[in-house]
């Protein structure tokens, strides 16, 4: 039986994450036609890595995209067949393949790795690393004029602290998606040893090399990519609306793609690791004040990185 007594988890959201969700043919087709050159349909069908390759190659020079248009039904069928198999065998859905079955999940107990990863040294290392990440994100974002990942990190910090305690967040579309992602990340690290603080910092890069051979590494990289792609899509939708209003859609396609890739890259490299550090510290300490302190240091580092302390 699923047990959740930690106030940093929402029983409703955890139970909802364990639902089996078959993919819809009409939605996959719509994504393939409208955003297929960016791999949107592949992300939807659970093919995160090939979706990323498609994004970086702009649909494989359109040839890959054209091929997929004729095979989208097959992709949906493969995903749904696997989802049905997992449901029959009472395994977690594909999105939570790194977790135990729901009836074996006990969030009342602390993670098994806590005793190995606790200590003042980890807290100090986390504080230092979060300051480095926050300052770097602010400085790089200001230099490149890409502020979207900064907004995402600030949102993440806030939602990490109140995600399960303010039900109103779950009724706001974009924030609801971020709340669900925070829970998914928390569930991942509840069952998987995160390793040292410095290992977490390098995971976005090194994880890519381990992902093809290690299922847990693949799940972690997929979580990071999901955040990056989702947030990049949200901000790209806003840019697209501006381009449509200005009547310069085709002339702004290059700008739109560049903004999308920058937001994705910065979110993946900076925001996701910072989120992992805060999440694991929350699982270790189970005391709000320490996470509030680390969150405050992160926001302060972003502030100084942005150079808004009197610099012009």
pLDDT in tens, the chain (312 residues): 444 445 456 666 677 777 888 899 999 998 888 778 888 888 888 887 788 788 778 777 788 888 988 989 999 999 999 999 988 888 888 877 777 787 777 777 778 888 888 888 888 999 999 999 989 888 888 887 778 888 888 877 777 666 555 556 566 666 777 777 777 888 888 888 888 888 888 888 888 777 767 777 878 887 888 788 777 877 777 766 666 665 555 556 677 777 778 888 888 888 888 888 888 888 887 556 788 888 889 889 988 888 864 454
Every domain of the chain and the residues it spans: 11-15+99-306, 19-91
106: phi then psi, degrees, rounded to nearest 5: -125, 100
pLDDT single digits (tens) 210-225: 776 777 787 888 788 8
Q: Read off the pLDDT of residues 190-209 as tens digits, 9 standing for 90 and up.
A: 888 888 888 888 888 888 77
Which pLDDT score, from 0 to 100, does residue 78 have? 92
Residues contacting residue 300 through CB under 8 Å, at least 6 positions apart: 131, 134
- pLDDT for 103 equals 75
Structure tokens given for 81: 């067949």
pLDDT of residue 127: 92
State the chain's mean pLDDT as an integer: 79
SS (H, E, C) the chain: CCECCCCCCCHHHHHHHCCCCCCCHHHHHHHHHHHHHHCHHHHHCCCHHHHHHHHHCHHHHCHHHHHHHCCHHHHHHHHHHHHHHHHHCCCCCHHHCCCCCHHHCECCCCCCCHHHHCCHHHHHHHHHHHHHHHHHHHHHHHHHCCCHHHHHHHHHHHHHHHCCCCHHHHHCHHHHHHHHHHHHHHHHHHHCCCCCHHHHHHHHHHHHHHCCCCHHHHHHHHHHHHHHHHHHHHHHHHHHHHHHHHCCCHHHHHHHHHHHHHHHHHHHHHHHHHHHHHHHHHHHHCCHHHHHHHHHHHHHHHHHHHCCCCCC
pLDDT for position 291: 80
Tens of pLDDT, residue by residue over 99-134, are: 778 777 777 777 888 888 888 888 899 999 999 998
Please give the C-alpha separations between residue 159 and each of 164, 168, 278, 301, 302, in angstroms, as whole numbers: 9, 12, 11, 19, 17
- pLDDT (0 to 100) of residue 173: 65
Which tokens belong to 85?
């198999």
Residue 5: the pLDDT is 41
Distances (CA, A) of 100 to 2, 190, 276: 11, 11, 20
Q: What is the pLDDT of residue 309?
A: 45
Residue 254, CA distances (Å) to 50, 68, 86, 248, 303 in order: 22, 23, 41, 11, 30
């Amino acid at each position: 039986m699923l047990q959740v007594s930690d106030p940093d988890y929402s029983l409703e959201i955890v139970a909802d994450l364990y639902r089996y969700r078959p993919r819809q043919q009409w939605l996959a087709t719509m994504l393939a036609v409208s955003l297929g050159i960016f791999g949107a349909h592949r992300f939807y069908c659970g093919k995160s890595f090939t979706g990323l390759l498609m994004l970086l190659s702009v649909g494989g020079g359109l040839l890959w995209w054209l091929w997929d248009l004729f095979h989208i039904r097959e992709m949906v069928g493969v995903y749904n067949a696997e989802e049905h198999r997992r449901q029959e065998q009472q395994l977690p859905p594909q999105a939570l393949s790194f977790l135990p079955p729901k009836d074996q999940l006990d969030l009342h107990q602390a993670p098994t790795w806590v005793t190995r990863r606790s200590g003042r040294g980890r807290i100090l290392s986390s504080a230092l690393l979060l300051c480095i990440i926050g300052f770097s994100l602010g400085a790089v974002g200001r230099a490149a004029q890409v502020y979207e990942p900064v907004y995402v990190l600030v949102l993440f910090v806030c939602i990490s602290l109140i995600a399960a305690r303010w039900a109103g967040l779950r009724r706001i579309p974009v924030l609801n998606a971020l709340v669900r992602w925070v829970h998914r990340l928390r569930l991942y690290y509840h069952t998987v040893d995160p390793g040292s603080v410095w290992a977490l910092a390098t995971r976005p890069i090194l994880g890519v090399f381990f992902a093809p051979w290690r299922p847990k590494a693949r799940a972690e990289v997929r979580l990071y990519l999901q955040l990056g792609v989702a947030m990049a899509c949200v901000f790209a939708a806003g840019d697209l609306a501006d381009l449509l209003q200005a009547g310069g859609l085709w002339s702004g396609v290059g700008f739109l793609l560049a903004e999308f890739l920058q937001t994705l890259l910065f979110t993946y490299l900076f925001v996701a690791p910072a989120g992992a550090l805060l999440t694991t510290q929350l699982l270790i300490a189970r005391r709000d004040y320490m996470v509030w302190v680390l969150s405050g240091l992160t926001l302060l580092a972003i502030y100084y990185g942005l150079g808004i302390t009197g610099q012009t």
